[in-house]
């Protein structure tokens, strides 16, 4: 369960987030939409524990994973090692995880030898291999073409359906939000606050 | 840093280039006409072989190599540690930067003389003098590398709770690899030059000592025989150790 009650969050002297409060239960997916630069990534960094400089309270599970805007893989390690070294899982579990995202035949390839779509699938596999109780996704399908986005949405939906993970999914594409989320909120204003979106 | 240089196709070019250097030297020796001032390669080569067969060259070579290796390991280890610290912490960088500038601008000869005066004419002083000369340049290179580390990969390590050792080994070190290779390569060439000065000034063995000896006898042939033998050894180390390691560490870039 994710429980967020941020009073305010500034970067330097610039206020970014105002009053932001929500809860996400296990198996639920909250989509956060909003214009670029409004503070969506800042919110995710606070949830991820990467930024502790805020006023308020955030309670998140210990086991967490994140899918970044860029695949953020280790280019000097193979696809398999990107899973084992980062998440600590053993090789056979990592091979299963690669199989789950359709990368069984690419275990020994370096990320640079994979297409962008394959790199994103590897990034997704890494996040799910960590067996997280909380998954944060920061516009993970950006800069993919339409058919690839649809393929990635199918895959993510399938991976989420078989697990009870509390997910926060940041996107600026409403269609993606509607596809994956159980609830959609919009981050808007300066400093940004949340409003519910009725889709 | 230069993967093309490892390609076999470059070997003939390198061989022709070295041959051109030897023939230029030969041409200059002929023009000069005085073998006591500039002996030809064909006069120096037998001297080196004779010293090699007598065992004298190998003995002094081994001593110098040991000093080079010791100073190299100390300079790289301390330089990488301090460079990482200064690159990661702006506070430490602010405090240590003036020191770094002082040590960067301290002439090698001053450090060597002071080490001999303060520590004594011994092995510790010799190795310390060389390492102290090299550490600042390693620090500068590694600090730049540390500043250029990918922040997003640090975030990945934090979120997935990678251990400190795993972060260093799998995330930081591969990114610093080219910087360490660059510092190491320039380090070896600088260190062996300083080691010769150290031996020249205050040791009774090593290539620098032999060069000092033959300098006093004005025997240019033997000075060249010893100096060039060591150059050959350093080139072999570069070709057989440094480049293969570098090629292996950066193979993912070419994959």
Residue A171 sits in a domain whose CATH number is 3.40.50.300
Cβ of A159: how many Cβ atoms within 10 Å?
18
Residue B197 sits in a domain whose CATH number is 1.10.3720.10
End position of a domain, from candidates A87, A113, A131: A131
Tell me: the pLDDT tens digits for B39-58?
999 999 999 999 999 999 99
Q: Of B93, B83, B75, B199, which is closest to residue B134 (Cα–Cα)? A: B75
Q: Is the pLDDT of residue B185 over 90?
A: no
Q: Which of B252, B253, B254 to mutate to test the interface with A (most CBs of A within 10 A)?
A: B252
Please tell me the distance in Å from A199's CA to the nearest CA on chain B.
32
Q: Is B254 on the interface with A (CB under 8 A)?
A: no
Per residue, the 3-state secondary structure of chain B, as one string, reads CCHHHHCHHHHHHHHHHHHHHHHHHHHHHHHHCCCCCCCCHHHHHHHHHHHHHHCHHHHHHHHHHHHHHHHHHHHHHHHHHHHHHHHHCHHHHHHHHHHHHHHHHCCHHHHHHHHHHHHCCCHHHHHHHHHHHHHHHHHHHHHHHHHCCCHHHHHHHHHCCCCHHHHHHHHHHHHHHHHHHHHHHHHHHHHHHHHHHHHHHHCCCCHHHHHHHHHHCCCHHHHHHHHHHHHHHHHHHHHHHHHHHHHHHCHHHHC
Does the residue A73 lie in any domain? no
**Is A183 found in the same domain as A149?**
yes
For residue A10, which phi and psi values (nearest 5 degrees)?
-115, 155
pLDDT at A143: 78
**Is A37 found in the same domain as A9?**
yes
Query: A74 and B158: CB-CB below 8 Å?
Result: no
Please tell me the distance in Å from B155's CA to the nearest CA on chain A.
7
**Is A127 found in the same domain as A184?**
no
Cβ contacts from A onto B, under 8 A:
53
**Is A145 found in the same domain as A49?**
yes
Does the residue B92 lie in any domain? yes
Q: Is the pLDDT of residue B5 over 60?
A: no
The mean predicted confidence, pLDDT, of chain A is 91
Q: Is the pLDDT of residue B254 over 80?
A: no
Least confident of B2-6, B28-32, B73-77, B208-212: B2-6
The sign of the dihedral angle between the CA atoms of B104, B107, B112, B116 is: negative
Q: Is the pLDDT of residue B162 over 70?
A: yes
**Is A198 found in the same domain as A167?**
yes
Number of domains in chain A: 2
Does the residue A43 lie in any domain? yes
**Is A99 found in the same domain as A55?**
no
**Is A115 found in the same domain as A59?**
no
DSSP letter, residue A19: S
Q: Is the pLDDT of residue B202 over 90?
A: no
| More confident call, A37 vs B147 | B147
**Is A93 found in the same domain as A9?**
no
Residue A110 half-sphere exposure toward CB, CA atoms < 13 A: 12
What is the C-alpha to C-alpha distance for residues A11 and A192, in angstroms, rounded to an integer? 13
**Is A175 found in the same domain as A87?**
no
Does the residue B88 lie in any domain? yes
Does the residue B28 lie in any domain? no
Does the residue A172 lie in any domain? yes
**Is A58 found in the same domain as A35?**
yes
**Is A138 found in the same domain as A59?**
yes
Number of domains in chain B: 1
Does the residue A71 lie in any domain? no
Does the residue B12 lie in any domain? no
- From A65, A74, A85, residue closest to B159, measured CB to CB: A65
Please tell me the distance in Å from B252's CA to the nearest CA on chain A.
5
Q: Is the pLDDT of residue B1 over 50?
A: no
Q: Is the pLDDT of residue B189 over 90?
A: no
Does the residue A70 lie in any domain? no
Does the residue A72 lie in any domain? no
Contact between A21 and A5 (Cβ < 8 Å): yes
**Is A138 found in the same domain as A125?**
no
Measuring CA to CA, how many Å separate A187 from each of A16, A195, B62? 11, 7, 69
Beta bridge partner(s), residue A11 = A14
End position of a domain, from candidates A115, A131, A147: A131
- From B153, B157, B255, residue closest to A110, measured CB to CB: B255
Please tell me the distance in Å from A198's CA to the nearest CA on chain B.
32
**pLDDT band for position A164 (50/70/90)?**
very high
**pLDDT band for position B3 (50/70/90)?**
very low
What is the CA A108 to chain-centroid distance, rounded? 25
Does the residue B34 lie in any domain? no
Tell me: the pLDDT tens digits for B114-155?
998 999 888 898 899 999 999 999 999 999 999 999 999 999
Look at strands A2-11 and A14-17 and give their pairing.
antiparallel
Does the residue B146 lie in any domain? yes
Does the residue B67 lie in any domain? yes
Measuring CA to CA, how many Å separate A84 from each of A78, A89, A90, A149, B168? 10, 5, 6, 26, 16
Does the residue B139 lie in any domain? yes
Q: Is A50 on the interface with B (CB under 8 A)?
A: yes
Domain extent at residue A164 = 1-63+134-199
pLDDT at B178: 86
Does the residue A92 lie in any domain? yes
End position of a domain, from candidates A131, A149, A171: A131
The mean predicted confidence, pLDDT, of chain B is 88
Domain extent at residue B90 = 43-254
């Amino acid at each position: 369960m994710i429980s967020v009650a941020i009073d305010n969050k500034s970067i330097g002297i610039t206020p970014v987030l105002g009053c932001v409060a929500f809860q996400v239960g296990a198996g639920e997916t909250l989509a956060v939409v909003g214009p670029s630069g409004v503070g969506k990534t800042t919110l995710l960094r606070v949830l991820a524990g990467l930024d502790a400089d805020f006023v308020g309270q955030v309670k998140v599970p210990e086991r967490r994973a994140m899918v970044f805007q860029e695949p953020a893989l280790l280019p000097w390690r193979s696809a398999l090692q990107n899973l084992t070294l980062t998440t600590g899982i053993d090789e056979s579990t990592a091979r299963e995880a690669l199989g789950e995202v359709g990368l069984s035949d690419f275990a020994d390839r370096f990320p640079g030898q994979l297409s962008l779509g394959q790199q994103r699938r590897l990034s997704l596999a890494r996040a799910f291999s960590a067996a997280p109780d909380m998954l944060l996704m920061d516009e993970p399908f950006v800069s993919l073409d339409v058919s690839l986005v649809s393929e990635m949405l199918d895959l993510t939906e399938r991976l989420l359906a078989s697990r009870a993970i509390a997910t926060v999914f940041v996107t600026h594409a409403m269609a993606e939000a509607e596809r994956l989320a159980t609830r959609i909120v919009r981050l808007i204003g300066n400093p940004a606050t949340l409003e519910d979106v009725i889709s | 840093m230069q993967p093309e240089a490892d390609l076999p196709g470059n070997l003939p070019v390198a061989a022709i280039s070295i041959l051109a250097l030897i023939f230029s030297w030969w041409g200059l020796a002929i023009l000069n006409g005085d073998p006591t001032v500039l002996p030809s390669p064909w006069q120096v080569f037998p001297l080196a072989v004779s010293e090699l067969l007598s065992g004298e060259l190998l003995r002094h070579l081994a001593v110098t190599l040991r000093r080079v290796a010791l100073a190299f390991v100390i300079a790289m280890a301390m330089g990488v540690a301090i460079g990482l610290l200064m690159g990661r912490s702006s506070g430490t960088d602010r405090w240590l930067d003036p020191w770094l500038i002082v040590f960067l601008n301290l002439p090698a000869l001053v450090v060597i003389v002071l080490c001999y005066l303060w520590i004594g004419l011994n092995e510790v002083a010799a190795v310390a003098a060389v390492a102290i000369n090299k550490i600042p340049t390693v620090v500068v290179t590694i600090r730049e590398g540390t500043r250029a580390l990918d922040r997003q990969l640090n975030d990945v390590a934090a979120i997935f709770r990678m251990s400190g050792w795993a972060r260093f080994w799998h995330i930081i070190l591969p990114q610093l690899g080219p910087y360490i290779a660059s510092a190491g390569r320039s380090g070896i060439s600088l260190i062996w030059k300083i080691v010769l000065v150290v031996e020249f000034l205050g040791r009774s063995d090593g290539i620098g000592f032999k060069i000092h000896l033959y300098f006093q006898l004005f025997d240019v042939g033997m000075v060249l025989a010893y100096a060039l033998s060591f150059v050959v050894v350093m080139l072999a180390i570069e070709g057989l150790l440094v480049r293969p390691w570098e090629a292996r560490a950066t193979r993912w870039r070419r994959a």
